[in-house]
Amino acid sequence: MAHIIVVTSGKGGVGKTTSSAAIASGLAMAGHKTIVIDFDVGLRNLDLIMGCERRVVYDFVNVVKKEATLKQAMIKDKRLENLFILPASQTRDKDALEKEAVGEILDELKKEFDYIICDSPAGIEKGAFMAMYYADSAIIVTNPEVSSVRDSDRILGILASKSQRAESGAEPIKEHLLLTRYSPARVESGDMLSIDDVMDILAVPLLGVIPESQAVLKASNSGTPVILDEQSDAGQAYGDAIARLLGEDRPLRFTKMQKQGLLKRLFKQKEGAAV
Amino acid sequence: MKRILKLLQSNKKTSASIAKERLQIIISHERTKKDRAHLLESMQQELIEVIARHLQLAPGSVKDQIKLDLAQNEGQSVLELNITLPDDELVAAAIE
C-alpha cells in the first residue's frame, strides 16, 4: 500500500528540500520504491539538491496540464535504483496545480510506488496546500527558533482541519517532528530551544534531530542528498530518522555537546583571550 | 568563586527560556482564537438550522443570514447575534 508523506514547515529555509531529498533517498536505500515530488511551482530546487537539474525536460505542471505523461516527466536517480524525482515547473505560478488533477496523478503513482514524498513550498498558500492535501503522514521540519516553531504550529492546525483525511473524517494524518539545524552547544549554553522545549510546545512525536552541520552545505553544493554522506553527522542522523520512520527503535545521536579535552579547552580559552 | 558565578547565572533567564515562554503564550493564544472561530462557525450553522425550522429566512448564504460575534470587554464576553429576515416575514411574526 503506497504511502504519501508531506514534508512541510510553514517557514522557509528550515530544511524542507534537504530533508525531502534525504528522506526519499533513505527510503530508496532501504529497498522501497520511492518518488519525491517538488510542489514548489515557480521556484523549483529539489532538482538541484538531488543533482538532476540538467536532466529536467518535463515537469509536474506539464503532467497536471496533460502536456506530458508521468513517465516522460519522472527522472530516474542515477545513484539509487528505487528512486525517482518529479520536478516542479520553473515558469508557471503556484495556482497551476489543481486539486483534482494532483489527486489523479498521485493515484497513478500509488500503483507503482511504495512511498510518495511531497516536498512542500514554504507558506500556507496553494502549493503548500496541494502538497499536504492527500498526505497520509506529515513530517514537520522545525528549527529550534521562535518563528519556525510558531509556523509549525500553524501548519499542524491546517493539517488537522484542511486535509482530505480531515475533510472526509478518516483517520487523521500521522504527524512527525523533525528538528533540524540543532546545535547542542548552544542549547547547553541556554541560547537555543532544546528538544524538550520544542516538543513541549508542539506536542508531536519526534522522528529525529539533525544537527547543524557543514555536511549539509557540502552535499547541496555537489547535488548529493546528505544521507549519502554516511561519514557525516547529518547523514547519520537522517539515517536514524528513516529507520524510525520504518518502525525501528533508535536512540538519538548528536544531541549532546561533545566533551572537549583539556587541551582543546585550554586552546580555546587562549584563542578567546587573544581576540 | 565558581559557585557564586553559577548561582548568579542560574538566577538569570537564558534567552532560550525567554523564547519558550513567549512561544507558549503566543501559541496558546492563537490556538484559542482558532478554536473560537471554529466554535462560532458551528454555532452559526446550528442556529440557522433551528431558526429555519420556524421562520422563513432571507435567501443567500448562511453568512448573509446570520451574524455571530464574540466580543470581549473587561472581564465579560458578549455574544452578539444578528439574524436577517425578509420584510414580509418580519410583519407576519409581529402580527402573531
pLDDT recorded at residue A260: 66
Kindly determine whether residue A190 and residue B14, on different chains, have CB atoms separated by under 8 Å: yes
Average pLDDT, chain A: 94
pLDDT recorded at residue A272: 46
Walking along chain A (275 residues) 10 residues at a time, the average pLDDT comes out as: 95 97 98 97 96 96 94 97 96 84 96 98 94 98 98 96 94 97 96 97 97 97 97 98 97 87 62 46
pLDDT recorded at residue B86: 72
A193-208, pLDDT tens digit by residue? 999 999 999 999 999 9
pLDDT recorded at residue B3: 65
Complex-level ipTM: 0.83
Average pLDDT, stretch B14-18?
Answer: 95
pLDDT recorded at residue B89: 56
Q: State the cell numbers at B25.
A: 503564550
Q: Where are the alpha helices (H) located in A16-121, listed in sequence order?
A: 16-29, 46-50, 60-64, 70-73, 99-112
Kindly determine whether residue B20 and residue A200, on different chains, have CB atoms separated by under 8 Å: yes
Which among A235, A245, A252 has a CA at the least distance from the CA of A114?
A: A245
Task: Give chain B positions within 8 Å (CB) of A149.
Answer: 23, 27
pLDDT recorded at residue B56: 75
Find the angle CA(A40)-CA(A46)-CA(A50) to the nearest 5 degrees: 170
Identify which of A157, A190, A201 has the shortest CB distance to residue B16. Answer: A190
Identify which of A187, A193, A201 has the shortest CB distance to residue B27. Answer: A201
Shortest alpha-carbon distance between residue A153 and chain B (Å):
7
> Closest-CA residue in chain B for A192?
B16
Half-sphere exposure of A143 (CA within 13 A, CB side): 14
A17-69, pLDDT tens digit by residue? 999 999 999 999 999 999 999 999 999 999 999 999 999 999 999 999 999 99
Q: Which amino acid, B81? A: L
> Closest-CA residue in chain A for B34?
A157
B31-79, pLDDT tens digit by residue? 888 888 888 888 888 888 888 888 777 666 666 777 888 777 777 888 8
Kindly determine whether residue B27 and residue A194, on different chains, have CB atoms separated by under 8 Å: no
pLDDT recorded at residue B39: 84
pLDDT recorded at residue B61: 65
Average pLDDT, stretch B72-92?
Answer: 74
pLDDT recorded at residue A202: 97
**Disruptive mutation site among B11, B20, B28, B30 for chain A (greatest number of A CBs within 10 Å):** B20
> Closest-CA residue in chain A for B13?
A190
Task: Give chain B positions within 8 Å (CB) of A189.
Answer: 14
Q: Where are the alpha helices (H) located in A113-232, listed in sequence order?
A: 126-133, 146-162, 164-168, 184-188, 195-202, 214-222
CB environment A51-61: b (16+ within 10 A), e (fewer): bbbeebebbbb
Task: Give chain A positions within 8 Å (CB) of B30.
Answer: 150, 153-154
Kindly determine whether residue A153 and residue B30, on different chains, have CB atoms separated by under 8 Å: yes
